[in-house]
Amino acid sequence: MEYRRIGRTDLKISSLCLGTMTWGSQNTAEEGHAQMDMALDHGINFFDTAEMYAVPASPDTSFRTETIIGEWFARTGNRNKVILATKAAGPGDYVKHIRGGPRFDRHSLQGAVEGSLKRLQTDVIDLYQLHWPERTTNYFGRLSYKHRDGEDGIAISDTVAALKELVDAGKIRHWGLSNETPWGTMSFLREAEKIGLAPPASIQNPYSLLNRSFEVGLAEIAHREHVDLLAYSPLAFGMLTGKYRNNQWPKGARLTEVKQFSRYTNDQASAATEAYCQLAEERGLSPTQLALQFVTTRPFVASNIIGATSLSQLEENLKSVDLPWDRDLEKALEAIHTRFPYPAP
């Protein structure tokens, strides 16, 4: 396992990160514990979660994943072996059950952190992330930007000030963004500098062979400003494993169970997936490992967030770091990308 410094911090995180968002819905607590055991045994030292997990968010599932992780920490005593990241939910109708409607103001963020610390059974969060923007903008598959007056929400300057209080209080070590845009990222950098807060260490955005939109504006920011990418959905909700090819819907699979997650299942995404799977077959490679190693080898990626609903899936994901990479493979992938530039934003 390779370890990479994240942002301008002193943290060195594994190039693969254990994603956790199915624990408490598709996975039991015991299965989550087994995944954490396996990940640690394979050199992963970086876990990512969120207060709204498990997904899809609901009053019955939110907060469960953090609780499962906290129980594992208490049982194993492994908190000091893990760099722990979690996220504060932003506003939205589907999370109104969280703190009466979460916001990124001082009061709401303080409540969010206290809740996460208690569930995770820890004294400090290593990386605290804003799960999605407070304002109306492009994220979660939205392409067309439409500004709506009066919907900017809490000012970024106020959010940054609240984060500084949490850092100064020793409740979070570092902070990061998620599902952000280039404008938003630069605005957070500017406001943090004004008040002497260390810049965001990371940005957690979708990135995969089906969604390379991060490369357009954010990759340069990641490089020049050291706001490294934590890539989520590197398998595009499992599409790039090939298990949904030929209109197959395996029982228990995420896209079978949760039909509203449709950003990766349009006709263009299906056609691109077929091309990537055929390339993997021609090379004698696992489509899963090919898709994962593509993400892991990008220079702006600090860590690739892998998730699984079984230990066998997790084991295959972990082995992706052993897949050899060469220029011919890179060229073949670029040729497919040229045919299907952004099939699943």
Tens digits of residue pLDDT in 121-141: 999 999 999 999 999 888 887
Contact (CB, 8 A) for 208 and 235: yes
One-character DSSP codes across 303-326: EEEE--SSHHHHHHHHGGGGS---
pLDDT at position 68, please? 98
Contact (CB, 8 A) for 48 and 18: yes
Count Cβ atoms below 10 Å from residue 120 Cβ, excluding itself: 26
Asked if residue 178 has pLDDT above 90, the reply is yes
**Backbone phi, then psi, for 134, in 5-degree steps?**
-70, -40
Count Cβ atoms below 10 Å from residue 87 Cβ, excluding itself: 25
Asked if residue 299 has pLDDT above 90, the reply is yes
> Which spans in the chain are helix H?
29-41, 64-76, 106-120, 156-168, 182-195, 214-225, 254-257, 267-283, 287-296, 311-318, 327-339
Mean pLDDT, rounded, for 95-110: 96
Contact (CB, 8 A) for 292 and 304: yes
Place of tokens 């990626």: 301
CA distance 286 to 297: 16
Using pLDDT thresholds of 50, 70 and 90, give the confidence band for residue 261.
low
46-50, 92-96, 187-191: the lowest-pLDDT one:
92-96
Question: Could you give all domains of the chain from N- to C-terminal order, each with its CATH number?
Answer: 3-339 (3.20.20.100)
pLDDT at position 260, please? 64
Asked if residue 256 has pLDDT above 70, the reply is no
Using pLDDT thresholds of 50, 70 and 90, give the confidence band for residue 144.
confident
Mean pLDDT, rounded, for 12-27: 97
**Backbone phi, then psi, for 236, in 5-degree steps?**
55, 55
Reply yes or no on whether 276 is catalytic.
Answer: no
CA distance 195 to 131: 22
Using pLDDT thresholds of 50, 70 and 90, give the confidence band for residue 340.
very high
Mean pLDDT, rounded, for 243-258: 74
Return all residues near 175 (Cβ < 8 A) that are at least 6 apart: 127, 128, 129, 130, 163, 166, 167, 200, 201
Using pLDDT thresholds of 50, 70 and 90, give the confidence band for residue 248.
confident
Mean pLDDT, rounded, for 156-176: 98
The fraction of the chain above a pLDDT of 90, given in percent, is 87
Name the average pLDDT for the chain: 94
Catalytic residue among 53, 128, 207, 232: 53
Contact (CB, 8 A) for 237 and 261: yes
Asked if residue 317 has pLDDT above 70, the reply is yes
43-57, 137-151, 181-195, 263-277: the lowest-pLDDT one:
137-151
pLDDT at position 275, please? 97
pLDDT at position 345, please? 80
CA distance 245 to 240: 9
Give residue 7's region: left, alpha or beta (phi > 0; psi -120 to 50).
left
Contact (CB, 8 A) for 79 and 49: no
Asked if residue 150 has pLDDT above 90, the reply is no
Residue 259 burial (10 A CB sphere; 0-12, 13-18, 19+): exposed
Give the residue from 225, 343, 207, 326 showing the smallest Cα distance to 275: 343
79-83, 147-151, 227-231, 314-318: the lowest-pLDDT one:
147-151
Mean pLDDT, rounded, for 86-92: 96
Q: What is the dihedral of CA 185, 189, 191, 193, to 10 degrees?
A: 180
Contact (CB, 8 A) for 287 and 276: yes
Give the residue from 105, 129, 117 showing the smallest Cα distance to 201: 129
Asked if residue 89 has pLDDT above 80, the reply is yes
Mean pLDDT, rounded, for 219-243: 97
Give the model confidence (pLDDT) of 201-229 as tens digits: 999 999 999 999 999 999 999 999 999 99
Strand 125-130 and strand 172-178: the pairing is: parallel
The fraction of the chain above a pLDDT of 70, given in percent, is 97
Q: What is the DSSP letter of 208?
A: B
